[in-house]
Amino acid sequence: MSPSTSSATEIVRRTFLKIESDAVLQAVDSLDLRGSGRVSAVIGVPLRNLQQRRDVAAFASSAPVAAMRALLELLAMAPLEKLVEALGDHSENPSHDQLAAAVDQLLGSEITADEVIEVLAFAIIEGFPAAPHCRRLLAERPEFELPALPEVVVTSTLVSPKETDPLVREQRRARREEEKKRKKGPSSVRPPRPVKAKTTERSSVSRAVATRNEGSPGALNERRRIVLTPIELERFDPDHPLAGTVVLVDVPFDAVDPDVPEIKSKERPALVVAACTDGLLIRAIYSNPSPTRSTFQAWRRLGFDHLSYVDGTRIALTGVTPESFKRLGRLNDQEWNAQL
């Protein structure tokens, strides 16, 4: 099946079979996955498995799509930034000819054929506006031809039913624990973690694209309401006027830096998801990607000078007054829905 008719998931699997295994292993080795509670089991377990077993072909054939997407995003981000720069004002929605010209401009001198394939596959799995052009480039360029998948392919379920590996058991255990938490949650307000578990194979960007593809004319025009935990709801108002605003604010570090222990926070942009009279509930925005972060879609419109990523972790800031932060802009309904 050609890339022009293949499913997005199949293209990603074939991409991992195409690109150099050493590059894939180098990327996964750069991740610290040791007992990180911030990375869900559906992503962390397959990536740790790849770190240990070094079998890229097995990962490509059987890993959950969420794990493949996280690793592909890490591989694609550097060449994607170069391609975005080459496209300039056309980067949001380039034509086929504009995309092909930018690829030809960079190929060989700035980025490799493997890196082009990574960017094209990432754009397809995330549902970028240029995804049809990316499919066409994969289909018409011999150097981008993707290998066929093995005849027997485990689809994007967590595990094969016959697996008995300890890592597989860990995946099953994690799923059971998430199911227990979902059942124990209050009926009036659903905690965010179970909701994530149900949609773990979709990034925030692709969720918005999937909504568009389902054909509901008003789906992206209707601003969705964020779901908070009961503890968050006790303090923060999800309908506060600041919700959806991007601010520049001091964000505390996760841990103390032994080199500079006196520095405990850094001023960085952040997306306000809820607020109260003296506090903000935010998701911080960073320059570098990670498995817990998704592309911040409004980076160019809000005047950022580089591609940025919004973290999935919510941080409560207390004692915050309007004078202590700067407003950078506000997400429109489509951008807000894409980041939920």
Q: How far is residue 93 from each of residues 26, 127, 133, 188, measured CA to CA in Å?
A: 31, 12, 10, 41
Cα–Cα distance, 280 to 271 (Å, whole number): 10
What domains appear along the chain, each with residue ranges and CATH number?
Answer: 8-144 (no CATH), 230-332 (2.30.30)
- Cα angle 51, 207, 150 (rounded to 5 degrees) comes to 45
Beta strands 279-286 and 309-311 are antiparallel
Beta strands in 36-187 (DSSP E): none
With vertex at residue 101, the alpha carbon angle to CA 97 and CA 105, rounded to the nearest 5 degrees, is: 175
For residue range 214-227, what is the model confidence (pLDDT) as tens digits?
Answer: 444 444 457 888 88
26 vs 172 pLDDT, higher one: 26
Is-contact 279 319, C-beta < 8 A? yes
**Closest Cα partner for 195 from 40, 33, 37?**
40
- Strand-pairing partners, residue 270, are 247, 284
Look up the pTM and report it.
Answer: 0.52
What is the model's pLDDT at position 176?
Answer: 78
pLDDT band for position 79 (cuts 50, 70, 90): very high
3 state SS for 164-225: CCHHHHHHHHHHHHHHHHHHHCCCCCCCHHHHHHHCCCCCHHHHHHHHHHCCCCCCCCCCCC
Number of CB atoms found within 10 A of residue 83's CB: 24
pLDDT band at 107 (very low <50, low <70, confident <90, very high): very high
Q: Highest mean pLDDT range out of 41-45, 204-208, 262-266?
A: 41-45
Write down the pLDDT at residue 38.
65
Amino acid at 303: G
Asked whether the predicted pLDDT for residue 230 surpasses 90, the reply is no
pLDDT of residue 151: 67
Question: Of 26, 17, 5, 8, whose CA–CA distance to 114 is shortest?
Answer: 17
Nearest one of 100, 117, 156 to 11, comparing CA atoms:
117
Predicted confidence (pLDDT) at residue 304 exceeds the cutoff of 60: yes
Q: 249 near 270, Cβ under 8 Å?
A: yes
pLDDT at 174: 77
